[in-house]
Structure 1
Amino acid sequence: MLKSMTGFGNATVESGGLAVTAEVKTLNSKFLDIYCRMPRQFSDKEIELRALLTQQLERGKVELSLNLARTNAIRPGTIINRPLVAAYVNDLKETADSMLMAFSDSDVLQLALQQPNAYLTESHDSSADASDWATVQAAVADAIRRCDEFRRQDGAVLETKFQEYIQIITDRLADIEEQDVRRIPAVRERMRNSVKELLDSDTFDQNRFEQELMYYVEKFDISEEKVRLKNHLSYFLEVLATEEANGKKLNFISQEIGREINTIGSKANDAAIQRFVVQMKDELEKIKEQTMNVI
């Protein structure tokens, strides 16, 4: 089954007072190009997320966005050491009274907060970090899954389009085969006239005659090109139906299809066939354009 390189998936997971929203967007690109927009607290996990995106999404321009929101009350990382600050306040007030100096309560508190060890830094909770990271992983994995499903659905649409394009080229090839039957007598008549002119000439050259004959046969015969084109069209559909179908392989086959179409156009020397060739080229360009968006 084909997968498009265009996709989108988002997911929100809540756990342990944390809500994580992950969004994954993908566009077509020749290679895998990953850009992550994530909170600084998980910047050390970017390599792990990149590995997950590489494994699941394979190819394309990938954008990952993470948004975190706390859903419960949280404590600040730094708190006031209240017993010590209270001791500082009492000591400062007593000192001011003994020196007959007047200070407002706010001035005393401000001085107390500037004293050593007035603040306490809470110990780092590694278990909370592990829980938060598990929530992030779950959200990212779900967003990737939805993006991949989007790609599969878009790939199914592309597969139908490819089948339509190939069918049109096949129909035009059938028209060429029908026209070729009418073209051959005209070619034969031109060859007969050329041969007659050579035979009637006083300077008739047997070697030149054989060269001219081979030239006309090679120039106007498109039998091999028609067979090869039919085989390439069949092979394209065969590959399209496999699990291994990918944009690069389909593009290679389309190049072979184009080579045979161009040769038919250059050798046929027939206005009707040229029109069919133009229509085939038009459909082939659509195929080549779409294969650029297939993984």
Structure 2
Amino acid sequence: MIGMYDDVVLSFSESKAEEAGMARSMTAFGRCSDIVGGKSITVELKSVNNRFLDCNSRVPRAYGAVEERIKPYLQSRGVVRGKVDVFVSVIRIDGGETELALDGEYLRRYIELLRQMRDEYGLRDDISVMTVAANRDIFTETESGATEQDTEDIMSVISRAVDTFIAMRIAEGENICRDLCKKLEHLGALVGEIEREEPRMNEAYRARLEAKLRAVLEGRGAGAPDEARIITECAIFADKVAVDEETVRLRSHLDAFGAALSSDDAVGRRLDFLVQEIGREINTIGSKVSDVHMTDTVVEMKSELERIREQVQNLE
């Protein structure tokens, strides 16, 4: 699986970006602006990392039906994780009527806060209509007679904005996957160092243990030590510091990690789980080894794994 993306060249049309079948980044931006049905429509999407799909939309009130469709539409396009903010602007350019309305709830709260400021800070009581009217947020502009066709026009622009949004997610995901493959290859090389050094470490540990055991027995004046017993005891204790099982499991986790990177599914959570499992095996190896060189290798493995963990957090 190592280097599996080296020869991959992404080529996809924006309208089919989600069909590329590759791990995606959760960080992306998309935008589309067009004039449709006498309306100037602009849609922007931006997203950051999040454990689940959290979609926040800002749509003109007259087009509330659009807001209800945005999250399900994103899900239908394969967006399953990330905090996504969607901004929709609609300006009529065909002479449609605009109605100005008062946001009563906002106005009530605004006046309450003004009075609170007056009482708390001893300000002069000069709250007037002109004072309140200076805050443009108390007014809302709505387009009269919003139709189903208006909704479809806006959704068509949203669809194209999502095309660019997903294209960026895939492009960023490819970059992350390339980087993860390099880090995975380095981690695999470090596991190889552990595997090569383990026999030497085990033999050195067994020799030290045997020498200490002989010294203890001879110090007690117990006569000639039982060679078979010494060899057996040393073998038992030496087995406790063997890390071959851990390296086998590490290899398995690294293979699973590489396979997940090429999956069509959202793999961020699976990769996060594998990072935890890899970390557990590395920690176990670290607790068993006493050789200075192998200890340094374990420290380097932990550092590389932490860099992998940071990148995995960006994947959907």
TM-score normalised over the length of structure 1: 0.76
In the alignment, is residue 256 of structure 1 matched against residue 274 of structure 2?
A: no
In the alignment, is residue 189 of structure 1 matched against residue 173 of structure 2?
A: no
- State which of 87, 95, 114 in structure 2 corresponds to 1:73: 95
Q: Which runs of 5+ in 1 are unaligned?
A: 79-123
Q: SS of 1:220's equivalent? A: coil
Number of the residue aligned with 1:142: 160
- State which of 263, 268, 277 in structure 1 corresponds to 2:289: 268
Q: What code does the residue aligned with 2:86 have? A: L
Number of the residue aligned with 2:191: 173
Number of the residue aligned with 2:182: 164
1: distance between equivalents of 2:215 and 2:242?
22
1: distance between equivalents of 2:265 and 2:38?
43
2: distance between equivalents of 1:172 and 1:77?
68
Does the CA contact (< 8 Å) of 1:21 and 1:66 recur in 2? yes
**Percent identity for Structure 1 against Structure 2:** 32
Q: Which runs of 5+ in 2 are unaligned?
A: 1-21, 101-143
Per-residue deviation, 1:60: 0.7
Per-residue deviation, 1:136: 0.5
2: distance between equivalents of 1:245 and 1:74?
44
Output aligned runs, 1:40-189, within 5 Å: 40-56=61-77, 57-74=79-96, 129-189=147-207
Q: What code does the residue aligned with 1:174 have? A: G
In the alignment, is residue 20 of structure 1 matched against residue 38 of structure 2?
A: no
- Paired residues, number: 247
Which runs of structure 1 show a deviation greater than 4 angstroms over 4 or more consecutive aligned residues? 75-78, 202-206, 208-212
Does the CA contact (< 8 Å) of 2:210 and 2:230 recur in 1? no
Q: SS of 2:298's equivalent? A: helix
2: distance between equivalents of 1:274 and 1:262?
11
Number of the residue aligned with 1:286: 307
Q: SS of 2:240's equivalent? A: helix
Q: SS of 2:156's equivalent? A: helix
Does the CA contact (< 8 Å) of 1:8 and 1:26 recur in 2? yes
Does the CA contact (< 8 Å) of 1:220 and 1:269 recur in 2? no
Number of the residue aligned with 2:253: 232
2: distance between equivalents of 1:76 and 1:154?
41
Per-residue deviation, 1:212: 5.4
Does the CA contact (< 8 Å) of 1:13 and 1:21 recur in 2? yes
Per-residue deviation, 1:214: 6.2
Per-residue deviation, 1:273: 0.5
Does the CA contact (< 8 Å) of 1:198 and 1:209 recur in 2? no
Number of the residue aligned with 1:82: none
Identify the structure with the greater helix proportion: 1
1: distance between equivalents of 2:35 and 2:149?
11
Per-residue deviation, 1:282: 0.8
Does the CA contact (< 8 Å) of 2:30 and 2:164 recur in 1? yes
Output aligned runs, 1:199-218, within 5 Å: 199-200=217-218, 201-202=220-221, 213=234, 216-218=237-239
Cα-Cα RMSD: 2.6
Q: SS of 2:147's equivalent? A: helix
